[in-house]
């Protein structure tokens, strides 16, 4: 069950011009079993029935995209900086 404050926090992140908090947003919350699992993690069911979780930004993006999961398919940079500032080849470690 989602609390009123959690719903208000979610509504702030969702495109406010598109969704009515009491009507459309509540229907989406119920249909996709949206709930806040921890202070920073939300859980929901995707359009194909897969349970997933993520931050409030990921959930808002899911809702703003018509409750469809967006898969990022662009080119990725194969080098990233590690925490110590050294470059790391991401293709060798899966991501």
What is the rounded average pLDDT of the residues 1-28? 76
The per-residue pLDDT of the chain, averaged, comes to 77
For 40-44, 72-76, 91-95, which range has the lowest pLDDT when averaged over its residues?
Answer: 91-95
Under the banding of pLDDT at 50, 70 and 90, the label for residue 95 is very low
pLDDT tens-place string over residues 73-92: 555 555 666 667 666 665 55
Global model pTM greater than 0.95: no
Say if residues 4 and 26 touch (Cβ distance below 8 Å): no
Structural domain boundaries in the chain: 4-64
Distances in whole angstroms, Cα of residue 47 to Cα of each of 31, 57, 63 = 10, 18, 11
Could you tell me which residue, 15 or 93, shows the higher pLDDT?
15
């Amino acid at each position: 069950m989602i609390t009123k404050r959690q719903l208000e926090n979610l509504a702030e992140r969702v495109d406010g011009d598109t969704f009515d908090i009491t009507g459309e947003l509540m229907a989406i919350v119920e249909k996709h079993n949206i709930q806040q699992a921890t202070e920073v993690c939300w859980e929901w069911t995707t359009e194909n029935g897969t349970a997933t979780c993520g931050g409030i930004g990921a959930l808002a993006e899911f809702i703003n995209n018509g409750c469809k999961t967006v898969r990022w398919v662009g080119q990725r940079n194969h080098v990233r900086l590690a925490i110590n500032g050294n470059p790391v080849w991401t293709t060798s470690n899966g991501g």
